[in-house]
Structures are given as structure tokens and as C-alpha cells.
Amino acid sequence: MSDFTFTIDGTEITAKEGQTIMDAADDAGIYVPRLCDHEGLRHQGGCRVCTVKADGRSVSACTQPAAPGLTVENETPHINKLRRDLVEMLFHEGNHLCPICEASGNCELQAMAYRLDMTAPTKFPYLEPCRPVDASHPDIALDTNRCISCGRCIRASQDVDGKGVFGYVGRGIHRHVAANGEDLSHTDAEVTDFAISSEVCPVGCIIRKRIGFATPIGEREFDKGLIGHKISAKRDD
């Protein structure tokens, strides 16, 4: 099969064989909101924020193969409501106190909340986890109280760094990210790893010691534009 076309919110776009809906949308400059997916990493399909309707069926755009003639709904009030619910769930699952968080302004969860107009107090209860912070490593700390289980650190370490510093343990609401072995100091993690870079963790769990707040608040990534603006900019060109 060669290239084919399908539509997203009425716009016809071209896709290549083997692309997911999200891959094809990215190429066409149409942003599908996402948290667990990241360019260059395997798809996980866990956060569900990329939920779209494909021929009327809800699917995750990051894992669903594009298909000829598919009709995809992306930015509809209904879908954005689902996404807002999911983002609220993630806020309530962890402990998020943005004003005192080093990630504020660079944080994809926070930016997604802005994009989805999550401005009023939310309806869900707070789960208030209390997970120990792993500060054993000389250069890196891991605070999973803010973790959204996107698994990006896990895949980045395995597939890009060739290491395996992180992994999931536990199940259900107790499932969480942990370091390989006893703690971070027992791993071969280095602050120069891709998995540790500011690009990988979408929130503020992986902390590079001594370089916090290097960029002042107000000049950070999402102080400059809504999350997704870089992808949509492609279309405006």
C-alpha cells in the first residue's frame, strides 16, 4: 500500500503505510493532545489523553494505525471533555502544588490543563500519595509523588540510553515507577542520560540536582505558547 488519505476534523491529510493516526497528524501539523507519547520513543498508549474518535469508535491516536478513508474527530467538545477528565484524574492521583514545583512552566501536565481550560476547581477527590523521594544519587533525584505513569523515562532509558534505569512495579493504583535495584545510586544512571534530560519527564519527577530554576519562571517553554504550538505551527507555515 502506498500513501493514502483520511480526515481529521474535516481536514484531509496524507498518511504513510504503518503510521499511527498521531504520526500522520503530526506530519500534517495537526496537534493531538498527548502525555505519554513522545517523539522518538515507542508508543505506550497509557495516558489516553490522545483519545480520538475514528469512524465513531474511541481509540488512542498514538497507537491506532491510520487507515484509508478514516474519519477522525479530534477537537470536539465531547472529546476535550474526556481529555479534561483524564488530566484531572492525573492531577488528583498525585500531589501537584504547581507554585512550588520546579517544573512549573515547563510541565506538560500543567500546560495540558491550560490548553483544556481546566480552570475551575475539580470534582474529584485527592488521593494524596506519600511516596519516599529517592535522593540517593549524587546528581539526580526521583520524586514519584508527581508521576503520571507515562513511562517515558523507562522507554528513554531502555531504547535510547541502552540502560534500563527505570521500570514499573506494582499493579493498579499502586503501580508506579521505580529505579532498577535498591535505589538510583545503585543504577548506572548519569545526569547526561537522555532519560534524565528535561525533555523526557513531562512533569517534575526527575530532578537534576543543583540546576533547578536555571530558567526563571515566565521564560519557560509553555510561558511562550500553548502546548502543541510547535506542531500546529507546521500547518501555519
Partner 1 sequence: MTPQTTTTPDQGEVARICDAFQSDPHRMLDILRDVQDRFRWISRETIRTVAEKTALSEIAVEGVASFYAFLSQEPKGAVTIRLCDDIVDRFAGLPEVTEAFENELGIKIGETSADGAYSLEYTPCIGMCDQAPAAMINDIVLTALTPDKVREICEDLKGGKRPQDLVSHRFDDLTPYERAIRMVDNNIRHAGAVLLGTTPADAGLKKALDLTPHQIIDSIEASGLRGCGGAGFTSGRKWRFAAETPAERRVIICNADEGEPGTFKDRVLLTERPHLLIEGMTIAARAVGATEGIVYLRGEYVYLRELLQDVLDDRRARGLLGERIMGMAGFDFDVRLQLGAGAYICGEEGALISSCEGLPGEPKTRPPFPVTRGYLDLPTVVNNVETFCHAARIIDRGAEWFFEMGKKGSHGTKLFSVSGDCLNPGIYELPYGLSIRKLLELAGGEDAAAVLVGGPSGTMIARDTFHRELTFDDLATGGAIVIFSSNRNILEIVEYYMSFFVHESCGYCTPCRVGNVFLQKAVAKFRQGLANPADIEYLKDLSSTIIETSRCGLGMTSPNPILSTLENFPLIYSAMVKPSENRIRATFDIQSAIADARHLAKRRSHIFDKDFGE
Binding residues for partner 1, per CB under 8 A? 43, 45-49, 51, 58, 60, 63, 65, 81-82, 85-86, 89-90, 92-93, 123-125, 127, 148-149, 164, 166-175, 178-182
Angle at 186 between CA 182 and CA 187, to 5 degrees: 110
What's the closest the beta carbon of residue 63 comes to ligand FES, in angstroms? 6
- Min CB(113)–ligand SF4 separation in Å: 7
User: CA angle, corner 143, sides to 138 and 145, nearest 5?
Assistant: 170
45 part of the interface to ligand FES, by CB under 6 A: yes
Q: Which of 24, 25, 49, 153 is the binder for ligand FES (CB under 6 A)?
A: 49
> Shortest gap between Cβ of 35 and ligand FES (angstroms)?
5
If one asks whether residue 70 binds ligand SF4 (CB under 6 A), the answer comes out as no
Considering only residues 23, 37, 143, 161, which one is a binding residue for ligand FES as defined by CB under 6 A?
37
Closest contact distance (angstroms) between CB of 176 and ligand SF4 is 8
Quote the CA–CA distance of 194 and 200 in Å, as a whole number: 7
Amino acid (one-letter) located at 217: I
CB 29, CB 232: distance < 8 Å: yes
> Of residues 37, 140, 204, 222, which one binds ligand SF4 by CB under 6 A?
204
Question: x/- contact string, 94-133, with ligand SF4 (CB under 6 A)?
Answer: --xxx--x-xx--x-xx-----------------------
CA distance 94 to 146: 5
Instruction: Report d(CA 220, CA 50) in Å as an integer.
Output: 24
Q: Report in angstroms the alpha-carbon separations of 24 from 3, 5, 64, 65, 77.
A: 11, 10, 11, 9, 22
